[in-house]
């Protein structure tokens, strides 16, 4: 890099820093000058603020080698109710429709990125990894939870049987990964290679495994935590209904999208918005798994039609905006005071999970005879946790109200740590594994600066 380019880079960095401070100062002044008004319009401004702050912070942290996602999270934390209070708790809550939309688009993108031919190539490794990771993480993290039980106020007072039940729930949650974080990193780095393909396939498939696992563990834990109940098979009926329904609806949706792309192929942005809001509402009503449905839809478009590349192109156009909004909201939603209180235990549990994931990856890679890059780095993409875990935490908390709130608080604190560390690890692994694209993401010719002269 020439000295001129370095100077230009520094100058641009400073410019972005000044602009970030200026925008922040403006919003800070406005929120202090007009503290009472918390209307719905401020929700709109909040999206604008998070978009700006997230994009700028990611640019500012990029020289440190941090993924953009981390910048979005930092921006959210800084703007949120536990930072500069530019957004209140109420505003962050009111952003949930934007979150729903973002999640649906992320799941669609996830499915569309999965090429079955490539997945088949890694099928043996994936199968072993899924088996080892699921079993090992479930057992080891359950054990870790029981080991640190004396440090957890709400678990300390539980009877041994109940403590085992809660620990099992914790172990099941530890098996969850973050499709959104994985996709955000892959979208930023445009990584291509065994590690990228393997991680994406693993994380997306693990969504299905986790849904089944959590339902099973809840069934087992119920009589342990509440002795008045017994193991109920009914929950598996509704689980089957949920999974079958989600896959069926996802397949139908995928076929409809493929037909639309083939016959019309226009205004996909509006179509995606309709899908995001409309179908999410229907799924909520039917109690189907939105992530699974949209993922299957993307998978069908990519693998059962000729429209996959067109679809990916359309989805990628929404990429930056969707990821910034999703992760900046996640950052704003992070309960920093809670993390401050619970960080020693949360850190212990997060570390136990990460170490177990590492051991599991080594074992599975060895058994499946994976290539060196997977043996070394396959674990790195499995550390992130985000919205999916928090969503399942809510399910556990609802199921066991007596331990619900403190359980959820500890889970959120642990997810916060994984959410911040996981993406950094995964990006580092992609960089080290040589899978990160060397090209800057392609810009439209129209927005490039005019040629000199």
Partner 1 sequence: MNTVALLVGLLVLSYLGSFWITRRTAGGVGLPSGVEYAALGLVLGPQALDLVAAKDLTAFEPVVQVAVGWLAFGTGLDFGFAAERRVSPSRVALASLGAIATGGAVATATWLVIGCLHMDVTRSERLLLAGGIAAACSQTTRHAVGWVAEHLRTQGGLADTLDDLAHSDVLFPLLAVAFLFALGGTRATVVRIPWLDGPLVTTGLGVGLGAGAALLLRSEMPVEDTWAMLFGPALLVIGIAARLGLSTLTASFFMGLALSRLSRHGPELRAMVSPTERPVLLPALLLAGARLDFGSTGSWPWIAAAAIGARVAATILVGWVIAAGSRSARAGGPLVGLSLMSSGALSMCIGMAFALRFPGTVGDTVLVVTVLSATVGEFVGPARLRRSLLLAGEIDYTAARASPMPKTVRA
Binding site for partner 1 (CB under 8 A): 12, 15-16, 19, 22-23, 26-27, 30, 33-37, 39-49, 51-52, 55-56, 266-267, 270-271, 273-274, 277-278, 281, 316-321, 324, 440-444, 446-450
Q: How far is the CB of 197 from partner 1 (least distance, A)?
A: 23
Residue with tokens 């909004």: 325
Residue with tokens 């406005």: 30
Question: Within the chain, what is the greatest distance between any pair of CA atoms?
Answer: 82
**Distances 263 to 256, 258, 266, 307 between C-alpha atoms, Å:** 10, 9, 9, 10
Q: What are phi and psi of 7, to 5 degrees?
A: -60, -40
Write the CB contacts of 237 (distance below 8 Å, at least 6 apart in sequence).
none
Nearer to partner 1, 201 or 324 (CB): 324
Which tokens is 50 given? Answer: 């998070």
Local structure of 297: helix, strand or coil: helix
Phi-psi domain of 193 (left: phi exceeds 0; alpha: psi -120 through 50; beta: other): left
Q: How far is the CB of 177 from partner 1 (least distance, A)?
A: 25
Q: What are phi and psi of 223, to 5 degrees?
A: -70, -25
Q: How far is the CB of 431 from partner 1 (least distance, A)?
A: 20
Which tokens is 95 given? Answer: 């952003």
Q: How far is the CB of 59 from partner 1 (least distance, A)?
A: 9
Nearer to partner 1, 51 or 209 (CB): 51
Nearer to partner 1, 49 or 258 (CB): 49
Nearer to partner 1, 117 or 444 (CB): 444
Nearer to partner 1, 281 or 402 (CB): 281
CA distance 149 to 285: 38
CA distance 254 to 304: 9
Nearer to partner 1, 4 or 440 (CB): 440
Q: How far is the CB of 250 from partner 1 (least distance, A)?
A: 19
Q: How far is the CB of 259 from partner 1 (least distance, A)?
A: 16
CB distance 87 to 52 below 8 Å: no
Q: How far is the CB of 307 from partner 1 (least distance, A)?
A: 18
């Amino acid at each position: 890099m020439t000295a001129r380019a370095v100077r230009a880079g520094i100058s641009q960095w400073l410019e972005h820093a000044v602009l970030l401070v200026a925008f922040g100062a403006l919003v800070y002044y406005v929120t202090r000058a007009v503290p009472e008004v918390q209307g719905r319009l401020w929700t709109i401004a909040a999206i604008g603020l998070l978009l700006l702050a997230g994009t700028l912070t990611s640019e500012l942290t990029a020289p440190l080698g941090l993924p953009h996602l981390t910048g979005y999270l930092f921006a959210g934390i800084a703007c949120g109710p536990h930072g500069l209070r530019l957004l209140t708790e109420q505003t962050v809550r009111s952003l949930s429709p934007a979150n729903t939309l973002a999640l649906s688009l992320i799941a669609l993108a996830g499915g569309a990125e999965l090429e079955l031919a490539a997945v088949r190539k890694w099928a043996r490794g994936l199968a072993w990894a899924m088996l080892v990771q699921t079993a090992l993480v479930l057992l080891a993290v359950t054990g870790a939870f029981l080991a640190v039980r004396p440090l957890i106020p709400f678990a300390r007072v539980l009877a041994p049987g109940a403590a085992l039940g809660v620990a099992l729930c914790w172990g099941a949650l530890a098996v969850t990964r973050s499709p959104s974080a994985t996709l955000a990193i892959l979208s930023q780095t445009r990584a291509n290679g065994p590690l990228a393909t393997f991680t994406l396939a693993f994380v997306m498939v693990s969504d299905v495994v986790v849904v089944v696992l959590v339902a099973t563990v809840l069934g087992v834990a119920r009589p342990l935590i509440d002795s008045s109940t017994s193991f109920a098979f009914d929950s598996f009926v509704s689980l089957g209904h949920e999974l079958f329904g989600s896959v069926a609806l996802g397949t139908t949706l995928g076929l409809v999208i493929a037909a639309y792309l083939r016959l019309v192929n226009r205004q996909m942005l509006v179509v995606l918005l309709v899908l995001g809001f409309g179908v999410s509402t229907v799924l909520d009503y039917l109690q189907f798994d939105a992530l699974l449905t949209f993922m299957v839809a993307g998978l069908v478009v990519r693998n059962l039609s000729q429209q996959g590349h067109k679809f990916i192109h359309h989805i990628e156009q929404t990429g930056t905006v969707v990821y910034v909004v999703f992760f900046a909201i996640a950052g704003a939603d992070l309960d920093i005071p809670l993390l401050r209180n619970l960080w020693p235990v949360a850190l212990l549990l997060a570390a136990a999970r990460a170490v177990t994931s590492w051991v599991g990856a080594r074992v599975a890679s060895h058994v499946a005879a994976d290539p060196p890059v997977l043996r070394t780095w396959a674990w790195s993409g499995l550390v992130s946790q985000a919205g999916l875990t928090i969503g399942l935490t809510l399910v556990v908390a609802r199921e066991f109200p007596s331990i619900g709130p403190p359980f959820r608080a500890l889970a959120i604190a642990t997810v916060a740590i994984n959410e911040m560390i996981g993406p950094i690890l995964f990006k580092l692994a992609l960089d080290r594994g040589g899978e990160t694209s060397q090209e800057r993401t392609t810009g439209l010719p129209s927005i490039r600066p005019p040629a000199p002269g």
